[in-house]
Structure 1
Amino acid sequence: MASFTRSKVSTESTTANFTDAEFAKIWPKPLEERKTTPSSALVDIRSGDDPQNKTAIRVIIKLSDNPDCQYDIDSPAALSQWNDHAEISTRRLSVAHVAGRHEGAKPTLLWRRNGWMEKDCFGLNDYPIMSAEIPVLTEVSIAMLAFLAIGTPHNQVSSAQVTVLKAVRAQRLPLSQVRVATSFLLRFPHWKPDTAVRIFRKNPSALPHLWPMLTECLNYAATTVVAEGSLPGWLSEVMSVIYDSQHILVEATRRGYIAASEWKSLKTIVTVNQDTTAVIQAQEMLSAF
């Protein structure tokens, strides 16, 4: 195997001296997580319809095997009413792509009485829902994080970020759900983690609430190393986000907000015989974590 020399990346110290008060402003103590509401819905991720937009994706929520009960969510705008009204704009999968079929093709999904239902024509089931009644649902968590990976158009990225951050503030996207949703999405090659993690660039305050996105990406990259002997191309941006935020992440780990074991995948990543910035950064961060 060919040898290589690791070049150094210029960096500030990975350690920072935070007082308790200073760090509390950056990383609030986590609140008790809300429980996830059980749901029988299944989720699938598919590429978008527009051949000119290679980053477009669709989230399919399946309430049964009947195609009429399978719903296509094709943009973050479809989720814009979830945090206030527990509703999602959809296309019925069975008729969404059938020319001339419009009746019933675009139902609105509502969460009411502890279950999914379609909004009827008379609004009889669209009674107001209290904010505290809007649940934590795995299928919705997956959908919200899925659209963070849309790279164009730019306003859709912002819309997705707004929806995610609003869910965080309302305690509808706990860390456990971030972990589950990210792990699920990484199985689909049309979900782009390097685009999704840009939420940390635009919203650094999201780090205490969404950090499992980063560690799950590391875990997936490590499994790729074991299986294929190489790193996924998207790891460069993910590692860069971690590297640029390491003074905060290291301190959060030291204080017990993040388990030290969350960073174990760095040990696998540094074994890759590639003189890439991602590998170099992983090597430099390994001792810090």
Structure 2
Amino acid sequence: MKGYLMLSRRSFALTGAAFGTSAALPAFARAPLGVTLPSFHRVKVGTTEVTALLDGVLALSPDYFSGVDPANMAAILESVGQDSTLETPINTFVVNTESGTYLVDAGLGGAQLFGPGLGNTLANLTAVGITPDQIDGVILTHAHPDHAEGLVDAEGKAVFPNAEIVIHEAEMKFWGDDAILAQAPDSAKGLFESARRTLGAYADRTRQVAESEVFPGLTLKHAPGHTMGHSVLHIASGDQQMMIMGDTLHNIAIHTAVPEAGFGFDTDATLAAQSRRKLLEMAAADGILTAFTHVNFPGFGKFKAKDSGFVYLPADWV
């Protein structure tokens, strides 16, 4: 992870400084100073092992979020020590079961859509001792670039030679629909190009599913709104369970305080909010361990209901 980026609705321009640089060491220092750059973290769910991989960190502007009164937004961010720079990770996950090894989302790969410092999923797979040919399936929560560009290399060829792609049928239908593409604003057409190119590299080994068990103990559940085929992965092993929630939320402070808040890349913000509330209510009621793409690394935690929103309880690093 070399840096982070500031994104706004007006621009994808790089405005963040690199994390890796530091001031000159004081004369008395015996060892170089540096920063902590975590790259992976494992937890067990029954006999299943789930490994979080840090693809990188970018920064979002609060103006990406809609439906929140500005004064309330300021209070929410102040309560958790955040300001107008919302440092936002991109996490991907390896699910290692008795039946196979599966990657949940693939990160940004070599795409420089948001600048440098991202696209570290493949390197972190290597760090945990997994090679691309050992991935049996890539389960996509949805096909936005920060989830799917890592499927292909700079030449557009498949990175995972033995993996099938598993994706909700509504997601494939949406991005492949020429009529929808024709009606899309110019600013969104690049998303269609990205989805078609990355998924096209696996055209002969893509499994489109409705809500169903996709591998033993792994069930893909439809949670539309962020995209029309956005899905979450439910993991069950013995008496333990986890839900990998993808982009169900984009900022833990904002979306727990105001679950109805919209996000700039939502296809249908109202539907996304309905899916968000339903899933968070389920997680809170059943005490389910959750994992998210855009929650502070490693992204594992639980929820409790509070007033009209929720409280997030990050899991200990154990």
Q: TM-score, normalised by structure 2?
A: 0.27
The structure that is helix-richer by fraction is 1
Comparing both chains, which one has the higher relative contact order based on Cα–Cα distances under 8 Å and sequence gaps of 6 or more?
1
Q: TM-score, normalised by structure 1?
A: 0.29
Q: Looking at CA atoms only, which structure, 1 or 2, has the larger radius of gyration?
A: 1
The structure that is strand-richer by fraction is 2
